[in-house]
Amino acid sequence: MTSILAEGESCWRIARADRFSVIVDAADFFRCAKQSMLKARRSIYLIGWDFDTRIRLEPGNKQAKQPDKLGRFLNSVAKKNPDIDIRILKWDVGVLSSLTRGETPFYILSWLFNERIHLKLDSAHPTMSAHHMKLLVVDDKVAFCGGIDMTAGRWDTREHRENDPDRRSPTGRTAAPWHDATSCCSGPLAAALGDLARQRWKRATDDELNHPETDSDPWPDDLEVEYENVDVGIARTAPEYQDHAQVAEIETATLAIVAAAEKTLYIESQYFASRRIAEAIAGRLREPQGPEVVLINPEGADGWLEAKAMDSARIRLMKLVREADEHGRFRIFYPVNDVGTPIYVHAKIMIADDRILKIGSANLNNRSMGYDTECDLILEASTDQTELRRSIHLERNALLAEHLSCALEEVEGALNQSGGSVIDAIERLNRSQGRGLRPVPIRDLTADEEMMAESSLADPERPAGVRYRTSSFLRKKFRRRAAP
C-alpha cells in the first residue's frame, strides 16, 4: 500500500514519536499543559493564534497550589526557575482584541520587556492572513499540536454539560459547549516541533533561538500514552510572503487522504468551505465502491462575518457533494448536548479507515489550505501494523461514542451489526432527543449570501499567482485509474 506521506510534498518532516496521545476537549489539554510546563527546565514555546492571560487552566480544582490563571501561572514558572526561557508568539492582528481585555494589557506590556518571558507579535504574513498554528513545546522533549487555543471560551469537558459552572468566560458569563482536540508527543517528533517553533519565531522576529539542552521528561502525569514508537508526518501551511515560498503540505496531504480512504472517511472540522477538498470528496462519492464520508461540523459558524461567509460556502459545497452522492454515502452532522444545545465544533481531525489519523490546526477551508499558517500531524499505519490500525480505529469510535453519548462497546457492536458502515451505526445509536448528532440543514441562499459565498474576503485561497501542486501519491493513483 502506497504511503501518503512524502517529505517535501505532503509533509515537511517525518519524525519518530516514542509517545503520542490524542487529547479531546480543553479541560484535559489545559490540565496536561499545566503539568508539563511545571516540569519545564529550560524552555517553553507557546505559538498560537490567541492567548488570554485571564483563563483558568483548572477551573473548579480547589486543590491547585500554583496560580491557575494563565498569566499568573507563567509568571510563577518564570519566577521559580532562573534558567527558564518562555517564548510566546501571538498573531499580531489578534492582539487588538487582547488590548480591550481586563488584565491582559498588563501582561502584554510587562512581557514585552521581560527577561524570561518574551512576548512577540507575529506580523510575518500577507494582509488578511492569520498566524493560526497552535503549538506548545516544553524543553523540546514534549510538544502539543492541535486545534485548541489557550484563550477564552475553549475550556470544556467531554460531557459538554448545559450551564457547566466551570465553563465560564473571564468576565463570569457562562460559555457555550465547545468540542476541540489536540495531541501530545515526545521524542524526536517533539524536537522537530521545537525546530518548527524556532523557525516561526525567527521569521516573525528575526531572532535565532538556541536548541535547549536538558534531560527533562515533562510528559503530563495525567496523560495515558496511546501510541508508542510511531512515525508521524508534520504538515504545514504557510502563504507566500516576501522571500518565503508557498507551503501547501496540508492541502496536499488532505487530498491524498481523501483519495486513500477505502471504506470510511471521518472528519471533524470547524468549516466545510474548501472547494478543492469538496470536489475531491464528490469524486469519491461518485465511485460505485467509494468510501462513506461522515463530516462533523458546528451547527453554524461563530460570528456574523464568518456565519455569512462560511455557512454560505458550506451550503454551496453541501449541494455540490450531495449531487455527486449517487450511492447515499455522505452525511454531515452537528452535535448537541443532553438538552439539545448545539456543541460548537472546533476540532480539526481526519481519519481514513483504520489507517490514517490527521490532527492539527487546519480546517476544511481555503485559509487553512493556503493562506494562514497551520500545522497538522499525520499518523499512518502500514498494512502489517495491526495494533496501530486497531488504535486508529478505536480513536474514531471513541469520538463517535462521545457525540452519541454511549459506550465505546456500543459503537463497536453497532458497527458489527451494520457490516462496518459508520453511517448505519450512527443511525442505530442516534437518539431523536437529548445528546446526539443532528443533520446540518440545507437551504437556498439569499442574494447577499450568494455574494458572500463567492467573495474571498473572509476565506482567501492563496496570494496572487501561487500555483497548485499534486502529490506523487495522487499522480500514482491517477495513473492506476487511467490504466486500461
Asked if residues 350 and 266 have their Cβ atoms less than 8 Å apart, the reply is yes
Higher pLDDT: 95 or 287? It is: 287
Q: For residues 223 and 39, what is the distance between their CA atoms, to the nearest angstrom?
A: 14
Question: Cell 478543492 appears where?
Answer: 276
Q: Which amino acid makes up residue 109?
A: L
- Locate CATH 3.30.870.10 in the chain: 13-229, 236-470
Give dist(CA 184, CA 396) in Å, integer: 17
What integer best gives the mean pLDDT of the chain? Answer: 89
Place of cell 492572513: 129
Classify the phi-psi angles of 60: left when phi > 0, otherwise alpha if psi is within -120 to 50, otherwise beta: left
For residue 299, the number of C-alpha atoms closer than 13 Å in the C-beta half-sphere is 14
User: Is the pLDDT reported for residue 279 higher than 90?
Assistant: yes
Distances (CA, A) of 360 to 129, 133, 405: 18, 8, 24
Per residue in 240-260, pLDDT tens? 988 899 999 999 999 999 999
**pLDDT tens digits for 194-226?**
999 999 999 999 999 999 999 999 999 999 999
What residues contact 384, with CB distance under 8 A and at least 6 apart? Answer: none
Question: Rounded mean pLDDT of 280-293?
Answer: 97
Separation of alpha carbons 8 and 182, rounded Å:
24
Rounded to two decimals, the pTM is 0.92
Cα 184 to its chain centre, rounded Å, is 12
Q: Under a CB-based contact definition with an 8 Å cutoff, are residues 30 and 155 in contact?
A: yes
CB 277 within 8 A of CB 254: yes
CA dihedral for 286, 287, 292, 294, sign (positive or negative): negative
- How distant is the alpha carbon of residue 469 from its chain centre? 23
Taking alpha carbons only, the member of 334, 294, 340, 314 closest to residue 438 is: 334
Backbone angles phi, psi at 454, to 5 degrees: -85, -20
Cβ atoms 239, 372 nearer than 8 A: yes
Which CATH architecture best describes the domain 13-229? 2-Layer Sandwich (3.30)
pLDDT beyond 50 at 484: no
Reduced to 3 states (helix: H, G, I; strand: E, B; else coil), residue 222 is coil
Q: Which three cell numbers stand for residue 213?
A: 539542552
Residue 452: pLDDT over 80 = no
The one-letter code for the residue type at 49 is W
Confidence check: pLDDT of 450 > 70: no
Residues 6+ apart with CB under 8 A from 105: 98, 99
CA dist 332 to 182, 292, 379, 390, 477, Å? 22, 11, 24, 25, 27
Is 261's pLDDT higher than 90?
yes
Q: Which residue has the cell 446540518?
A: 440
- Domain boundaries 236-470, corresponding CATH code: 3.30.870.10
3-state secondary structure of 397: helix
Taking the alpha carbons at both ends of the chain, their separation in whole angstroms is 20
Q: pLDDT at residue 467 above 80? A: no
Listed in sequence order, the DSSP H helices in 266-311 are 275-286, 304-306
87-96, 186-195, 220-229, 299-308: range with lowest mean pLDDT: 299-308
Q: pLDDT tens digits, residue range 375-388?
A: 999 999 999 999 99
How sure is the predictor about 398, in pLDDT bands with cuts at 50, 70 and 90? very high
% of the chain surpassing 90 pLDDT: 73
pLDDT at 17: 98
Flag whether pLDDT at 309 surpasses 90: no
Instruction: Specify whether the CB–CB gap between 247 and 241 falls below 8 A.
Output: no
Distance CA 352, CA 272 (A): 17
The four Cα atoms 333, 306, 270, 330 give a dihedral, to 10 degrees, of 40
Mean pLDDT of 328-342: 97
Q: What mean pLDDT is predicted for residues 128-141?
A: 93
Q: Count other Cβ atoms within 10 Å, centred on residue 299.
A: 17
Q: At what angle do helices 275-286 and 312-324 cross, to 10 degrees?
A: 20
What proportion of the chain, given as a percentage, has pLDDT over 70? 87
- The SS3 call for residue 334 is strand
- Please tell me the distance from the alpha carbon of residue 370 to that of residue 94, in angstroms, as a whole number: 19
